[in-house]
């Protein structure tokens, strides 16, 4: 049980404005595994004031090399807590412990280190004719983050903001906030200058909205649902803040007719079901040649069966529970809707036997899904994969592009040049060709209603900078 009674504000633990607390439930046992304070607008005011003082003072005057040194220290402090971070996230999110160690704990550490390197090596000014172009920090940044990859999403905002020279007020998801308080402990351990990072837990309608509309905040970086992103944008517009948004996805795994079907389908299933499907960039639509649909379905069923569903703390587990009862109900609602719309349920579709507690849903596969069906258009955020058949390459590309989203995708072909040509036609921010590996330094973000702006790498840091031109 981890109980946090104070916020991390101005470099120290600070008592909240009220005694209200938020209970954090284990995804696999449904029991309370911790508590955090329930923030208010008054707590946001205190955090923003601390961030403003830091930005206007010592932190704002710290050169890039100095900021890089602090990021190195922070990465080291997170590394010493990697085991605890993995265990906490396996509990509050339900991520299998092996994946939690490698991704949920490992990736944010690597991202933090990457920004230390970028802060040292990036150019913050350059000559253009008779002008000197400067990249300067935006100022006070509100970072509002989700629950599915909680610490990674936090550090994908906090690390580049600090590298750029900004100060941050973080609101972690109220569903999975405990990991953010481990970050606070790391900041305290290294004695990060006061106000550089501030953490206020609470709900979106209270803390999130207070941050988005706060006149002392210069920029908002939000990751979450499309609905919430629209609300954040509307509130931020009142004070003309910069807003970056990483929202939903309905990504396609497009398998061309010459593709190695066994490899492509198996990889597509693993991608779609990573973190029990609670991944915004998951390939939740598998687009296959109609003549090979039966073959693809057989491979997909076998691939799903090979992913062991179980206790997230069992090293053999590959699929854990969903994060909450509400999320499970949402996923079950979409499964029911898929059946009602005429899609063929091939496997899964219910709750597994042998799990008296925990928010589990069996891996679910639908076939013959119409491109306009709800399960092919709307983000489900669960272990549900839809297979859509096509008759021509042109139709396949149209299906892949035929949603309001454009976050990610994959293309498979025996001909690498053909796969690349199709990848160029997809309206998505990231496309993997024949299983291309994740690149932490490549920009991450979406087209269309998947969002605005980019995270990770140099492009991610530039989001937190303004450009000034000085003519001489």
Catalytic residue among 166, 187, 253, 280: 280
pLDDT in tens, 365-395: 999 999 999 999 999 999 999 999 999 999 9
Angle between helices 64-80 and 178-190 (to 10 degrees): 120
Neighbouring C-alpha atoms within 13 Å toward the C-beta of 377: 11
User: What are the b/e assignments for 329-342, b being 16+ CB within 10 Å?
Assistant: eebbebbeebeeee
Q: Which residue bears the tokens 């509130």?
A: 235
C-alpha 138/C-alpha 244 separation (Å) is 12
* Angle between helix 293-305 and helix 261-273 axes, rounded to 10 deg: 50
**Complete domains list, the chain, with CATH:** 2-247+450-471 (3.40.605.10), 252-440 (3.40.309.10)
CB under 8 Å to 413, separation ≥6 — which residues? 256, 258, 259, 419, 422, 434
Residue 149's pLDDT is what? 98
The whole-number pLDDT of residue 165 equals 98
pLDDT at residue 136, rounded to an integer: 98
Average pLDDT (150-159) is 98
Question: What is the per-residue pLDDT for 279?
Answer: 97
What is the pLDDT at residue 396? 98
Residue 295 a catalytic site member: no
Tell me, rounded to whole angstroms, the distance of Cα 156 from its chain centroid. Answer: 9
Distance between CA atoms of residues 10 and 253, nearest Å? 45
Nearest-CA neighbor of 142 among 124, 121, 158, 126?
A: 158
pLDDT in tens, 272-328: 999 999 999 999 999 999 999 999 999 999 999 999 999 999 999 999 999 999 999
Which residue in the block uniquely carries the two structure tokens 């208010």? 40
pLDDT of residue 406: 98
Report pLDDT digits (tens) over 8-64. Answer: 999 999 999 999 999 999 999 999 999 999 999 999 999 999 999 999 999 999 999
pLDDT digits (tens, 9 = 90+) for 402-440: 999 999 999 999 999 999 999 999 999 999 999 999 999
Clarify whether 166 is annotated catalytic.
no
Q: What percent of the chain has pLDDT over 90?
A: 100
pLDDT in tens, 270-282: 999 999 999 999 9
> pLDDT averaged over the chain?
98
| pLDDT confidence of residue 393 | 98
Residue 26 near residue 33, CB atoms below 8 Å: yes
Q: 255: pLDDT confidence band, cut at 50, 70 and 90?
A: very high
β-strand partners of 319:
309
The neighbouring-strand residues paired with 35 are 3, 23
How far, in Å, CA of 428 to CA of 406, rounded?
4
Taking residues 146-166, report their average pLDDT: 98
pLDDT tens-place string over residues 190-240: 999 999 999 999 999 999 999 999 999 999 999 999 999 999 999 999 999
The structure tokens 């995270």 sit at 455
Q: How far apart are the first and last CA of the chain?
A: 61
Q: What φ, ψ does residue 451 adopt, rounded to 5°?
A: 140, -175
Provide the pLDDT for residue 281: 97
Torsion-angle region of residue 82: left (phi > 0), alpha (psi -120 to 50) or beta?
alpha
pLDDT at 353: 93
Q: Which residue in 92, 174, 246, 458 is the catalytic one?
A: 246
d(CA 92, CA 181): 13
Q: What's the number of CA atoms in the CB half-sphere (13 Å) around residue 217?
A: 32
């Amino acid at each position: 049980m981890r109980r946090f009674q104070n916020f991390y504000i101005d470099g120290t633990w600070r008592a909240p404005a009220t005694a209200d607390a938020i209970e954090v439930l284990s995804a696999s046992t449904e029991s309370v595994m911790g508590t955090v304070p329930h923030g208010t607008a008054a707590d946001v005011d205190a955090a923003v004031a601390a961030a403003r003082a830091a930005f206007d003072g010592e932190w704002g005057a710290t050169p890039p090399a100095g900021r890089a040194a602090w990021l190195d220290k922070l990465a080291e402090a997170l590394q010493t807590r990697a085991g605890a971070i993995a265990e906490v996230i396996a509990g509050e999110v339900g991520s299998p412990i092996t994946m939690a160690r490698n991704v949920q704990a490992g990736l944010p550490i690597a991202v933090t280190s990457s920004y230390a390197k970028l802060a040292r090596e990036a150019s913050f000014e350059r000559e253009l004719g008779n002008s000197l172009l400067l990249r300067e920090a935006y100022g006070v940044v509100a970072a509002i983050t989700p629950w599915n990859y909680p610490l990674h999403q936090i550090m994908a905002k906090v690390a580049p903001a600090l590298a750029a020279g900004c100060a941050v007020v973080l609101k972690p998801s109220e569903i999975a906030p405990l990991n953010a308080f481990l970050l606070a402990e790391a900041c305290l351990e290294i004695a990060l200058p006061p106000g550089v990072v501030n953490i206020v837990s609470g709900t979106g309608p209270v803390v999130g909205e207070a941050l988005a509309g706060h006149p002392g905040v210069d920029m908002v970086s939000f990751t979450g649902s499309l609905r919430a992103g629209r609300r954040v944008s509307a509130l931020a517009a009142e004070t003309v803040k910069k807003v970056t948004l990483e929202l939903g996805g309905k990504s396609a795994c497009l398998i061309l007719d010459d593709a190695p079907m066994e490899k492509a389908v198996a990889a597509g299933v693993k991608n779609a079901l990573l973190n029990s499907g609670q991944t915004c960039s998951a390939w939740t639509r598998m687009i296959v040649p109609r003549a090979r649909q039966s073959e693809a379905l057989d491979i997909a069923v076998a691939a799903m069966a090979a992913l062991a569903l179980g206790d997230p703390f069992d090293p053999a587990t590959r699929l854990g529970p969903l994060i909450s009862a509400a999320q499970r109900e949402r996923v079950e609602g979409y499964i029911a809707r898929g059946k009602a719309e005429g899609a063929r349920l091939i496997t899964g579709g219910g709750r597994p036997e042998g799990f008296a507690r925990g928010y589990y849903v069996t891996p679910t596969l639908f076939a013959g899904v119409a491109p306009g069906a709800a399960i092919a258009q709307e983000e489900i955020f669960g272990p549900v994969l839809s297979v859509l058949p096509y008759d021509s390459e042109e139709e396949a590309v149209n299906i892949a592009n035929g949603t309001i989203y454009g976050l990610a995708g994959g293309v498979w072909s025996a001909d690498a040049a053909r796969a690349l040509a199709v990848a160029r036609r997809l309206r998505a921010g990231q496309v993997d060709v024949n299983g291309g590996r994740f690149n932490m330094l490549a920009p991450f973000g979406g087209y269309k209603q998947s969002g605005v702006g980019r995270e990770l790498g140099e492009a991610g840091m530039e989001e937190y900078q303004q450009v000034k031109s000085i003519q001489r």
